[in-house]
Structure 1
Amino acid sequence: MPENTTLNSFINKADIAALPVLPHTLQVLKEAFEKPSFNYHHLNKILQYDPACMINLLAYANQEINKDFDKQISQVDHAAMLLGMERLEKFIGNITSLYSVSNKKVADKLSRLQHRGVHTAFQAQNFAQLIKDSSVSEIYTSSLVTPISELICWHLEPVKAQKVELLVFKEKLDYKQAQNDIFGFSYHELADALTHHWQIPSLFLKRQEMNELDDASRPVQCIYLAEKCSIIAEHGWYYDDMYQFIKLCADTFHYSEERTAQMLHRTAVNMAHKANEFYPVQTTISHLALLAGKVPYIQVIKVDEKKKNAVAENKPQSIPEKSAARIKQNKIASIELITSAVDFPDLIRLTMDALFETKVFNRISFIMLSKDKKYLQSRTLRGHKSKHLSDTLLSMQPANLFSKLLVKPQSVFINPLNYQKFAPLINETMHKMLGVEEFIAKSIHVKGKPIGLFYMDKHPLEDNVFHKMDIEDYNQMKIICTLFDKQLQKIS
């Protein structure tokens, strides 16, 4: 195979310990080194949430230690111990944080790629524990560095890396082909080359060399499937491929789809809690995606229920009370009229009418994003009139729950079980605007751009009594908003 001079030239630009690390990582590292009680195991606890710093350290250690003796380093505590305090302090003194990246968009992308690496590591570790593999620690470290090629490309050539994404999302070009067209090599080739060049853990190298999932070793299967999971989750847990992915994992590891789905969900939530200090923005988005229906767990249960119902369809069945109520609501005129909407204002009006006519919500509002993208304001209101909700201008900065919700098409159900988790994103202006601590919100996007959101709650009426919201209320919203989404696609 001919030598790729473009790839070799790019690798030469990728200096050891060049990747900017998370600001929190650098801060904690410096604080840890100042403590007399510092030991090498503390380092591992810090770096397990920062793929860039992990890559930097392992690459630096393998380069330095090879000067002394031929030994590959794949664990943080081993690297730290063999480097010694003097070289370790030198290493920490040379690394920079994402704050040094002047382009905020690039810094955000690097942070999200690191978050993907951490999710991959958490998931691979849990896969390994599920199948009782003995190399859990090495699997975690090898999984953590999976976004190495994209991190390097976005750090060294952010303009080219952005062009790759534009070719994929706008021109629908194959991802690998786009990489080759722009960089002259694929990310996979770069990861493989860097693995050899920097002597990154051998297990990660085996992942790069994998051709068929069935032929791969168990540890490599854990890493591959975990990486795939983190990419799907990055698109949102409602991504179409999630159920097929759950089935693939279940078939590979020989566990039920239900148990696999439970484990995926538990891993994501656990990671979000543990890595919250390192990734406050990303973990918030993860929670937003996971809370609404607890996908992918509920998604699998619903599929299982359909299978059971198909088997028992010949048996006479009574209609449950809640199902009967839903059928009755589906006969409401506005619900049926949603599919007849010819333009966006008409669709908004009919959808809000349908939501209100179900008598599930006391207050429904269409909250619109201003043209300059600087604030949100209620444009249409059904039900209980509220001056605060109607008149308040909710600024998009500083970031709040609604501004986070508008990042992508998604919904959230805020209730007493999760309110404290999201309280930091509900600022004083937003709290006064809503006047309640239980509500449902769904973002609205047209051609990929945020327009606003639907907001629903059970604000007290004349009786001045607060009524609790439950999952059935959320399900009612989903039924109607699914029709809304389909019609919006048709008229956009």
Structure 2
Amino acid sequence: MANVKSVSNAWLQFWDRRAIPILQESRNQLMGMIRRADLIRPGEVAEIVARDPLLTAQVLRMMNQRQKSSMSADVVAIESAILLIGVTPFLERFARAQTVESVMLPTHQAEYGQLLKRVFEARLARRLATVFANKRFDAKVGEIQAAAVLANLCESLAIISPHLDEQAPAASLDLLSLLEQWQMPTAILDLIRVDAEPATRSVLQHAVVPLSRQLERGWWQDEIQQRLLTIAGVLNFPAEQVWQLLTEQLLAFARKEGKSSQLYTPARYLVMLPGAWPAPASTAPAANLAAAIPAKDILAERMQALHLAGVQGVPTNQVMALAVRALAEGLGMQRIAFTLLMAAENALRARYVQGVTPTDPLHALRISLEKQHIFTKLLQKPQSFWLNADNYTQFSPHLPPELVAQIGAKSFCAMSIFVGAQPVGLIYADSGLDGTVNEFHYTHFKQICILASKALAHNARRSSV
């Protein structure tokens, strides 16, 4: 503990008064305002500052570390800081600030790219936090924006510090301690703090801000769904409305940032919206366009389509068709079957089949549930099973005899599908008679099945209303 504390203290002292480099983009824009400073409004300068988390941190630190009288108030909003300093003095001070590009380029391109990624996340976090705070009619949106922009500041400073000083101490990601050292207002600290009993605005903030990073891994992740449900609960909105707000903001943000940043293009988020994609406006020759288009991630597209089906409440047959397509076209599984639970027969019957000829036995597959085997166990609760070379000897005696006789695969995945607490069937997929299902197949197979279960459950809830 002592070592951790000493590392943290050294890090805090390193950044206590040290000038924080800003983005060259910010400096250029501020320089362009100097000649017409008398005509510039504080809000115009504040918008430039807010897009640069490093400049935001420096301004708020400077204002809150200043000597204060008993009548002085904390400064939270960037525009308030600019009003206190004055537009012209502010421009003269920060238009000549050191830039991160001057200390990192051209030698450290990779680290610079990581820094730009943090900047992008901070901008996105600020936008989303602003939108949802306004939906809650928060009276002090400036506090929300400042906390969102500063959320990943320690990571950005950790990237920069070795390039400012070779003897820089080891980085600490304790953002709260850093902001306390800088005497940041309590309103910002409360929105950062996670160990205290949170107020409603803090709950909303902690649900919204991490989305800017988590969405990078795909919007079908369970943790994202939980955050959306939290936002919906705080705002008293339907989950579908929260999702619509989020997708609209992501696409609008990517279109805006795509003009000045190569991190993400608007196409990254188009697949989240229903309907056809807008036609490209480019007039380049077709051959050049074909060469410039990267290979599609078919698996991600199919999973996104399945997720949207659940959000939009499409019919059950379409949900299962999308799940089968995701397994076949996205994951490359060869033989796929959704077997429906027939309660009257106490059996599973193949309902949706993919990857076999019309005369293949898979179409007529019927698995009795009278005797205990692996599939009867799967139907007891939502769970999955992966048969492979390592466990074949152990589990082969427990396979349904109909499956062994008619299918014969020695490697496959299976997962039960539930709607609420009730089993409705089971999805089976393999890589052909002699093919092998690997861990990558199994991991994404489970994700697809979970998406299908959620879509069916959502559809059932809509139908019951």
Q: TM-score, normalised by structure 2?
A: 0.57
Structure-2 change in CA distance of 1:427 and 1:249 (3 Å)? farther
How many Å apart are 1:74 and its aligned residue?
A: 1.2
Tell me, what secondary structure is at the counterpart of 2:114? helix
Q: Does 1:112 align with 2:91?
A: no
In the other structure, the counterpart of 1:291 is: 270
Moved >6 Å (runs of 4+): 426-429, 473-477, 485-489
Are the aligned partners of 1:440 and 1:474 in contact in 2 as well (CA < 8 Å)? no
State how far apart, in whole Å, the 2-side matches of 1:263 and 1:50 are. Answer: 24
Are the aligned partners of 1:120 and 1:229 in contact in 2 as well (CA < 8 Å)? yes
How many Å apart are 1:112 and its aligned residue?
A: 0.9
How many Å apart are 1:137 and its aligned residue?
A: 2.7
Tell me, what secondary structure is at the counterpart of 1:32? helix
Are the aligned partners of 2:191 and 2:205 in contact in 1 as well (CA < 8 Å)? yes
In the other structure, the counterpart of 1:82 is: 84
Letter in 2 for 1:98: E
Correspondence 1:277-426 to 2 at 5 A: 277-278=259-260, 280-284=261-265, 287-294=266-273, 417-420=278-281, 423=282
Deviation by residue 1:205-236 (Cα, 9 ceiling, x = unmatched): 00232336xx4223222321122211211323
Q: Does 1:45 align with 2:47?
A: yes
Q: TM-score, normalised by structure 1?
A: 0.55
State how far apart, in whole Å, the 2-side matches of 1:416 and 1:210 are. Answer: 40
Q: Does 1:211 align with 2:195?
A: yes
How many Å apart are 1:259 and its aligned residue?
A: 0.8
Tell me, what secondary structure is at the counterpart of 1:211? coil
Structure-2 change in CA distance of 1:63 and 1:416 (3 Å)? same
State how far apart, in whole Å, the 2-side matches of 1:126 and 1:155 are. Answer: 30
State how far apart, in whole Å, the 1-side matches of 2:21 and 2:438 are. Answer: 44
- Cα RMSD of the aligned pairs, angstroms, is 3.8
Structure-2 change in CA distance of 1:81 and 1:65 (3 Å)? farther
Are the aligned partners of 1:57 and 1:76 in contact in 2 as well (CA < 8 Å)? yes
Unaligned runs of 5+ in 1: 159-181, 299-412, 446-452, 454-472
In the other structure, the counterpart of 1:127 is: 132
In the other structure, the counterpart of 2:160 is: 155
State how far apart, in whole Å, the 2-side matches of 1:43 and 1:58 are. Answer: 14
Tell me, what secondary structure is at the counterpart of 2:118? helix
**Larger Rg, first or second structure (1 or 2):** 2
State how far apart, in whole Å, the 1-side matches of 2:70 and 2:208 are. Answer: 35
Are the aligned partners of 1:19 and 1:151 in contact in 2 as well (CA < 8 Å)? no
State how far apart, in whole Å, the 2-side matches of 1:231 and 1:442 are. Answer: 22
Letter in 2 for 1:11: L
Structure-2 change in CA distance of 1:227 and 1:277 (3 Å)? same
Structure-2 change in CA distance of 1:114 and 1:35 (3 Å)? same
Correspondence 1:147-226 to 2 at 5 A: 147-157=152-162, 183=170, 185=172, 187=173, 190-211=174-195, 215-226=197-208
Correspondence 1:67-78 to 2 at 5 A: 70-78=72-80
How many Å apart are 1:123 and its aligned residue?
A: 1.1
In the other structure, the counterpart of 1:242 is: 224
State how far apart, in whole Å, the 1-side matches of 2:215 and 2:185 are. Answer: 25
Unaligned runs of 5+ in 2: 164-168, 302-320, 334-428, 441-465
In the other structure, the counterpart of 1:481 is: 329
Are the aligned partners of 1:49 and 1:275 in contact in 2 as well (CA < 8 Å)? no
Deviation by residue 1:65-122 (Cα, 9 ceiling, x = unmatched): 5499743211222212222333651233123143541311111111111111111111
State how far apart, in whole Å, the 1-side matches of 2:62 and 2:80 are. Answer: 13
Residue of structure 1 aligned with 2:288, choices 430, 442, 457: 430
Letter in 2 for 1:80: I
Identity of aligned residues (%): 17
